[in-house]
Structure 1
Amino acid sequence: MSTGDVVLLVLAGAGCGLVNSIAGGGSLILFPALLVTGLPPLSANVTNSVATWPGYLGGVGAFRNEIGERRHLLPPLLAATLAGSITGCVLLLVTPSSAFDVVVPVLVLVATVMTALQPVVRRRLKDSAGADHRPTVAAVVGVFLATIYGGYFGGALGVIVLGVLGLTIKDSIRNLNATKSVISLLDATVSVVIFGLFGPVDWASVLVAAPTCLVGGYIGGSIARRMNETVLRVCVVTLGAVVTVALFLKI
């Protein structure tokens, strides 16, 4: 790995953690950076999944009070997450790398569009006066399907899960976001275990990007209230669009 690659991954890791904490869609920074260093799409995808795990851990820490208050909702949702994540990871590993190379531009496009639509999702998730005491069947099924996507690719997973929870569970946005953070952490943990054992992870890249992803996530959590989220999202979506075009054109 060249010095330039190290610098790129340090910056991309920090940017990924920062964006995930503030707006979501951080994989649209780290994933293309891994591609630039020369990793093939499949290896870049699994490496990205492993390297971003520390950022999700930080998110759960930030919501520990809300998570404790809503822990009665978690068992069915986490069971669905475990099943969905394992399914997605296995699908990725048994899919020929050539097939993943074909589908990855579509996945990046989906992640980019979901990140762009995040403000719309948030506006539709209005705080509820009451709260459900248990998740609905629709919530469990929706989380299962969302985390299949998360295990397979994972870009903008948090946006997708928050949308599923908002449509299927009556609760405040803050509590839903806390629940989403636990689901995202479990999905990422499954990816780390399965890809770490069986996937083509580039561990040198993980060692460079993971610590800065953690630092970026911590900093992002502390400055989220002061940063212009709209500007940040525009930059991320623009990057995602460029990467999508480049992948479709095989540049």
Structure 2
Amino acid sequence: MRKSRVTRRAPAGDEVAMEILLLAGAGIAGGICNAIAGGGTFFTFPALIAVGIPPVVANATSALSIWPGHAVSLLGTRRVLAANARRVREGGATFAVGSLVGAALLIASGDRVFGAAIPWLILFATALFAGGPALRRHLARQRRTPPPAAILAMEFAAAVYGGYFGAGLGIILLALLTVTGIEPPSVANVLKNALATVATSVAILLFALTGTIDWGAAAIVFAGAAAGGVIGGRLAARVPANALRAIVVAVGLGLAWHYF
């Protein structure tokens, strides 16, 4: 195993408590958002950077912290997965390879290149989050299915993006599944979570093997995200997804402006 890439300075005594509160709070906010409308990365990623973690490590750590959101959602969906086993196998292979390429590109690019790309990536993810529902409705009205080669290329590109950054990956996946005719939306959502789990798992494995994760920070954000997921699950019926989506979009625009 390679030496860890985590090089941030050790915080002072008073700063430790503040960092824990910030990371836990970001995890809670991210967990609530993911349980209702998605967009948890908009909270976890900037919080990790705010406590002094380098951009590449912050991104890898954020990916690990929110990974359970996709994986746990697959519990109880065995029948849907079994009925679409071929689609999961074919898409899973593409997403495994593409995510590995994206994660490798992230590590190779380094903090300078990735840091410069952060505002553009956040702006792209914000646009996806804002226009995702309308895009999916538009695609659902289309009756033409792209040729297999085009679908494979789109899935591979989405997987590379997922391994490199990942915010908004679920929206991209839902759009791709809609284009390929996966219906109803409940089935598409299960397959989306399955493919996202594959992509994130492969990326996290490479991040772990290359020492690109701050495990202490990841544990704090993970705990917060788990609590937020429970809270979000209970609030899902009370909080309008569109209202929460508007908040996430506002946060995304603010982050993009800040990093620009």
Q: Give the TM-score normalised by the residue count of structure 2.
A: 0.86
Amino acid aligned to 2:255: V
Q: Which has the larger radius of gyration?
A: 2
Which of 71, 75, 84 is residue 89 of structure 2 equivalent to? Answer: 75
Q: Distance in 2 between matches of 1:62 and 1:227?
A: 24
Any idea what the Cα deviations from partners look like across 1:137-185, whole Å, max 9, x if unmatched? 4433322110100000011110111111111234221111110000111
Any idea what the Cα deviations from partners look like across 1:210-235, whole Å, max 9, x if unmatched? 12223323443454333211111111
Which of 10, 19, 26 is residue 12 of structure 1 equivalent to? Answer: 26
Amino acid aligned to 1:51: S
Cα distance change, pair 170–56 in 1 and its aligned pair in 2 (3 A): closer
**TM-aligned CA deviation for residue 82 of structure 1:** 0.4
Alignment of 1:155-234 (within 5 A): 155-234=167-246
Q: Give the TM-score normalised by the residue count of structure 1.
A: 0.89
Cα distance change, pair 83–157 in 1 and its aligned pair in 2 (3 A): same
Is 1:140 matched up with 2:164?
Answer: no
RMSD: 2.2
Which of 132, 135, 150 is residue 121 of structure 1 equivalent to? Answer: 135
Tell me, yes or no, if the aligned pair for 1:17 and 1:212 is still in contact at 8 Å: yes
Q: Distance in 2 between matches of 1:180 and 1:69?
A: 15
- Secondary structure class of the residue paired with 2:35: helix
In the comparison of the two structures, how many residue pairs are matched?
Answer: 243
2:43 is matched with 29
Amino acid aligned to 1:84: G
2:251 is matched with 239
Structure 1 residue runs of 4 or more that deviate by more than 2 Å after TM superposition: 62-69, 121-128, 135-141, 168-171, 214-226
**TM-aligned CA deviation for residue 49 of structure 1:** 1.0
Is 1:98 matched up with 2:112?
Answer: yes
Q: Mind listing any 5+ residue stretches in structure 2 that lack a counterpart?
A: 1-10
Q: Distance in 1 between matches of 2:182 and 2:191?
A: 12
- Secondary structure class of the residue paired with 2:94: helix
Cα distance change, pair 141–31 in 1 and its aligned pair in 2 (3 A): same
Is 1:66 matched up with 2:80?
Answer: yes
Q: Mind listing any 5+ residue stretches in structure 1 that lack a counterpart?
A: none
Cα distance change, pair 176–127 in 1 and its aligned pair in 2 (3 A): farther
- Secondary structure class of the residue paired with 1:61: coil
Amino acid aligned to 1:230: N
